[in-house]
């Protein structure tokens, strides 16, 4: 007597339709979402109470109490600052501009320098602060 046994079928889940649905959902969300660029300047502000030491390429703009502007320790006029920043950005691998302004400098001058930096193509701007004394 000969008994034939059927080989056991492997159970498989067909996920083709699931992949199609997920792909359609992905396309739907990509098309329907809107990306708005907020007006203004994006800043990376350091924490004032804790200090973190990071190596930054040497691009520093100083504004002293007499409203004189220095780029890397050299005096510069506001109208020449854009050209200097553009040439420094071309030479730098990871350009970060550090803005160090005296507390007595008018807000308008600081914003003007920040605007010139953005026009020159600066992507990362750090406003330097000093650690808060006390608490």
Question: Confidence band (pLDDT; 50, 70, 90) for 53?
Answer: low
Report, as an integer, the average pLDDT of 28-47: 60
Whether pLDDT at 56 is above 80: no
List, in order, residues 6 or more apart from 57 with CB less than 8 Å away. Answer: 92, 93, 94, 95, 96
Higher pLDDT, 133 or 17: 17
Residue 126 has pLDDT above 80, yes or no: yes
Looking at residues 45-73, what average pLDDT do you find?
70
Q: Is 59 helix (H, G, I), strand (E, B) or coil?
A: coil
**CATH classification for the domain delimited by 60-127, as one of 3.40.190.10, 3.30.465.10, 3.40.50.1110, 3.30.420.270:** 3.30.420.270
Q: Which of 105, 89, 106 is nearest to 97 (CA)?
A: 89
Distance, in Å, from the CA atom of 14 to the CA atom of 58, rounded to the nearest integer, reads 58
Of the pLDDT bands very low, low, confident and very high (cuts 50, 70, 90), residue 44 is very low
Q: Tens digits of per-residue pLDDT, 77-117? A: 988 999 998 888 888 777 788 888 888 888 889 899 999 99
The pLDDT assigned to 115 comes to 92
Write down the mean pLDDT value for the chain.
78
Single pTM value for the model: 0.55
Hey, is 76 helix, strand or coil?
coil
Domain ranges of the chain: 60-127
């Amino acid at each position: 007597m000969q008994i034939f046994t059927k080989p056991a079928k492997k159970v498989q889940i067909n996920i083709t339709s699931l992949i199609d649905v997920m792909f359609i959902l992905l396309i739907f969300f990509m098309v329907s979402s809107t990306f708005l660029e907020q007006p203004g300047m994006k800043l990376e502000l350091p924490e004032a109470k804790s200090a973190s030491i990071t190596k930054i390429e040497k691009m520093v703009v100083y504004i002293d109490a007499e409203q004189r502007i220095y780029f890397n320790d050299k005096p510069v006029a506001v109208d020449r600052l854009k050209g200097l920043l553009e040439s420094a950005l071309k030479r730098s691998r990871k350009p970060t501009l550090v803005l160090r302004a005296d507390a007595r400098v008018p807000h308008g001058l600081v914003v003007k320098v920040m605007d010139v930096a953005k026009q020159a193509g600066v992507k990362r701007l750090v406003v330097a602060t000093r650690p808060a004394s006390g608490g």
